[in-house]
Amino acid sequence: VAVLLGPKKPSGPDYQGIWEAGWKENLDEFYVSGDENALVPKFVKNNQPVRFRGELIMPLGETFESDFVSVLREAFFRRYFHGYSSIAEFGCGTGQNLVHLQRIFPDASLLGADWAMSSVDLLDNINQRFGFSIEGINFDLFHPEEHASGPLTKTKAAFTVGTMEQLGANFEPFLQFLLDSDINRVIHFETAYELYDPDNLWDFFAMAYIEKRNWLRGYFSALRELEMAGTIRILYQAKTFGSFHHDGYTVTVWQKVTI
Ligand SMILES: C[S@@+](CC[C@H](N)C(=O)[O-])C[C@H]1O[C@@H](n2cnc3c(N)ncnc32)[C@H](O)[C@@H]1O
């Protein structure tokens, strides 16, 4: 309980430098080794208990979290991005998800957006190593209006993995950006505050943790409201698994309703 509810630094705009420094470490390692394992974020810890179906379990596989994420990407990208010619990841970090996506759909044009310049540099390195041409764009989700007419608005699909959580309650500008763009279908692998059950002990801890970190709250209710208004359709939403603190890999897929 002390670990779960102890002091935590809340997310927000001053986190940019922390991400910049973190991805710089991955960049330096990847630059030297060219090893894809150097793209796994340092916050993904091996040999840790994970949340699964309302309980904490201890996986047998050492790299269970990144292995499971890889399986999720494979399944959801193939199912929901098939036929999309251009796809963007917002908050692309080291680029590990885009590498996987490019291998699944070699002909798709991919873009990676992140507010950390070391993330854009990582994509440049990835392109050189693997012969890809993923476009890296410096982009702040708190200020998407700065890119109101850029290439990100022209992509047909988008996804996020653990990025929306960083926005706290300040998700409206980015949601509006998505709605105003040509992006038709979106997949989120994100913690969904609204899906936790406060009567379940582990969910109660996850909610408390999300509040302390000032993580995403209200976004999935806003999507439900857009669905009720006939603007979007939620095609899929379910918990899959999570790391120790929360169900960070809850999957939500939505698309715009076109008349
Ligand atoms: C938990 S990491 C996930 C990275 C990557 N999606 C992955 O799965 O490895 C969150 C990412 O969101 C980015 N991010 C957080 N807040 C952001 C903001 N306001 N604008 C752009 N990127 C942001 C961070 O720099 C970081 O790369």
Expressed in angstroms and rounded, the spacing between residue 199 Cα and the centre of ligand 1 is: 31
Is residue 135 within 8 Å of 152, Cβ to Cβ? no
Range 4-14 average pLDDT: 75
Does residue 3 register a pLDDT over 70?
no
In three-state secondary structure terms, 221 is helix
Q: Is 191 in the pocket of ligand 1 (CB under 6 A)?
A: no
pLDDT, one tens digit per residue, over 161-215 is 999 999 999 999 999 999 999 999 999 999 999 999 999 999 999 999 999 999 9
14 CA from centroid of ligand 1 (Å)? 13
Question: pLDDT exceeding 90 applies to what percent of the chain?
Answer: 86
Q: What share of the chain is helix, strand, coil (3-state, %, to 5)?
A: 45, 15, 35
Please state the pTM of the whole predicted model. 0.96
Q: What is the pLDDT of residues 112-151, one digit of tens each?
A: 999 999 999 999 999 999 999 999 999 999 999 988 889 9
> For residue 104, what are the contacts with CB-CB under 8 A and spacing of at least 6?
74, 77, 78, 81
Interior/surface letters 213-248, b for 16+ CB within 10 angstroms, e for the rest: bbbbbebbeebeebeeeeebeeeebebbbbbbbbbb
- Contact predicate 162/248, CB 8 Å: yes
Q: Which of 96, 115, 163, 171 to mutate to test the pocket of ligand 1 (most atoms within 8 A of CB)?
A: 163
Q: Give yes or no for residue 20 CB within 6 A of ligand 1.
A: no
CB of 41 sitting under 6 A from ligand 1: yes
Q: Cβ distance 24 to 118 under 8 Å?
A: yes
Instruction: Report how far residue 1's alpha carbon sits from residue 232's, in angstroms, rounded to the nearest whole number.
Output: 39
CA-to-CA distance for 161 and 164, rounded, in angstroms?
8
170 lines ligand 1 (CB under 6 A): no
Contact residues for 146 (Cβ-Cβ < 8 A; gap 6+):
139, 140
Instruction: Tell me the one-letter amino acid at 46.
Output: N
